[in-house]
């Protein structure tokens, strides 16, 4: 399709649009965009019995295909990106983990180049400014309080491609760091936190707009100490990340988030590490050794969950078939909402004329059968 005005019409499928699902609908692709009408003689691809949904948007992803976004070469990072594209993620933000500040700055510069080339959608810094008592799979002796000057150093190192920064906002310097991020157009995310309900509300008022993997690495809900979860769920300004892999969350907690926050405020993420799409074995997440067994990643030392091996096609299928969420709600959470969060909804996140032709084809059982990115098949439904 590239390099010509040739149109392709994907016809006969159930097409999920912002206005609802159209049975027997069609999507017209011209070059790298979705078009409003087809040229005469357009190629017709019959996808009857399938679903067509927007390409998935992952705002929290550490790697895949055996490659780490935190430590791999540019070629290795691209291998990880390709792995997730093959599973439907057509827009991806690369996440780092806690490390030495200078090393994180160098990593940001490499990821910035890949962002400028259009391979990834920016950089997410997760750590080192997080709470030691909620560190999860982050190395304790590298953690530090969120000094705004150091936060600024990493933002500057990303050369305008920093999209999100996860902080424990209750720590000294946390609120000032949130304000600095907001001033520079970088999403401030509350995560790996031991914050109280009131402290969390203060951080939201200061400009924090995302809950990093809600429920995980933060205090649980209690009747007299609601903590950060209640504050994050109740505030319309906040988008809540959820890892729906069957390990990180009980289905009741997923339902609670969709019910209380609403589908319009949920972003399904992977929090994937190297093993996603690659298999069991021994890996590293930053400087920490991780053992993956039966698809579950845990630190060798201590046994904490260390990210996931999730891909978003699996999250989509699980959300619809196991959790019984409406397809349209899942599309919101896996495509539209994260695209809006990144300020990219004019380009991706829905199937509308003028946007990039980023889409996923699913069969009746919600198994992935095709992936198109920028008008080119990554996975062809015809093969």
Q: Write 343-347 long-range contacts (CB < 8 A, 24+).
A: 344/57, 344/91, 344/121
pTM for the full predicted model = 0.95
Q: Find out whether 213 is annotated in a ligand binding site.
A: yes
Please state the separation of Cα 248 from the chain's center in Å: 15
Find the helix packing angle between 174-183 and 148-157, rounded to 10°.
30
Q: How far is CA 28 from CA 31, 38, 45, in A?
A: 10, 6, 10
Q: Find out whether 121 is annotated in a ligand binding site.
A: no
Tens-of-pLDDT digits for all 383 residues of the chain?
Answer: 433 457 899 999 999 999 999 999 999 999 999 999 888 889 999 999 999 999 999 999 999 999 999 998 999 999 999 999 999 999 999 999 999 999 999 999 999 999 999 999 999 999 999 999 999 889 899 999 999 999 999 999 999 999 999 999 999 999 999 999 999 999 999 999 999 999 999 999 999 999 999 999 999 999 999 999 999 999 999 999 999 999 999 999 999 999 999 999 999 999 999 999 998 999 888 788 889 998 898 988 888 888 889 999 999 999 999 999 999 999 999 999 999 999 999 999 999 999 999 999 999 999 999 999 999 999 999 87
Q: Find out whether 87 is annotated in a ligand binding site.
A: no
The full set of domains in the chain, from first to last, is 7-53+350-379 (2.30.40.10), 56-341 (3.20.20.140)
Among residues 235, 271, 274, 358, the one annotated as catalytic is: 271
Q: How far is CA 348 from CA 33, 35, 158, in A?
A: 10, 14, 23
Where b means 16+ CB within 10 Å and e means fewer, 129-168 reads bbbeebbbbbbeebbbbbbbebbeebbebbeebbbbbbbb
- The torsion defined by the Cα of 95, 99, 105 and 107, in degrees rounded to 10, comes to -50
117 CB-near residues (< 8 Å, 6+ apart): none
Q: Find out whether 192 is annotated in a ligand binding site.
A: yes
Q: Find out whether 248 is annotated in a ligand binding site.
A: yes
Please state the separation of Cα 108 from the chain's center in Å: 18
Q: Is 294 in the active site?
A: no
């Amino acid at each position: 399709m590239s390099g010509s005005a040739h149109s392709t019409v994907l016809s006969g499928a159930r097409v999920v649009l912002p206005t609802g699902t159209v049975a027997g609908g069609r999507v017209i692709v011209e070059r790298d965009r979705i078009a409003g009408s087809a040229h005469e003689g357009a190629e017709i691809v019959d996808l009857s019995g399938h679903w067509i949904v927007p390409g998935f948007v992952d705002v929290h992803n550490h790697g895949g295909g055996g490659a780490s976004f935190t430590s791999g070469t540019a070629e290795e990072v691209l291998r990880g990106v390709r792995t997730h594209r093959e599973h439907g993620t057509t827009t991806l933000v690369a996440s780092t983990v806690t490390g030495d500040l200078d090393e994180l700055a160098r990593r940001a510069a490499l990821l910035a180049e890949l962002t400028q080339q259009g391979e990834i959608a920016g950089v997410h810094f997760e750590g080192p400014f997080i709470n030691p008592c909620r560190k999860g799979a982050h190395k304790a002796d590298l953690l530090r309080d969120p000094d705004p000057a150091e936060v600024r150093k990493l933002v500057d190192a990303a050369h305008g491609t920093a999209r999100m920064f996860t902080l424990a906002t209750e720590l000294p310097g946390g609120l000032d760091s949130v304000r600095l991020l907001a001033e520079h157009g970088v999403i401030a995310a509350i995560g790996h936190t031991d914050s109280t309900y009131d402290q969390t509300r203060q951080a939201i008022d200061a400009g924090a707009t995302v809950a990093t993997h809600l429920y995980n690495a933060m205090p649980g809900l209690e009747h007299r100490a609601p903590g950060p979860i209640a504050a994050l769920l109740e505030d319309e300004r906040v988008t809540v990340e959820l890892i729906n892999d069957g390990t990180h969350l009980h289905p009741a907690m997923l339902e609670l988030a969709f019910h209380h926050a609403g589908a319009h405020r949920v972003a399904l993420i992977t929090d994937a590490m190297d093993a996603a799409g690659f298999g069991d074995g021994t890996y590293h997440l930053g400087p920490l050794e991780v053992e993956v067994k039966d698809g579950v990643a845990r630190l060798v030392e201590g046994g904490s969950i260390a990210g996931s091996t999730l891909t978003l096609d699996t999250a989509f299928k699980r959300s619809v078939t196991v959790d019984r969420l409406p397809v349209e709600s899942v599309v919101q959470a896996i495509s539209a909402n994260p695209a809006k969060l990144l300020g990219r909804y004019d380009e991706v996140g829905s199937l509308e004329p003028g946007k990039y032709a980023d889409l996923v084809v699913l069969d009746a059982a919600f198994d992935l059968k095709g992936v198109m990115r920028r008008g080119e098949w990554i996975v062809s439904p015809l093969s």
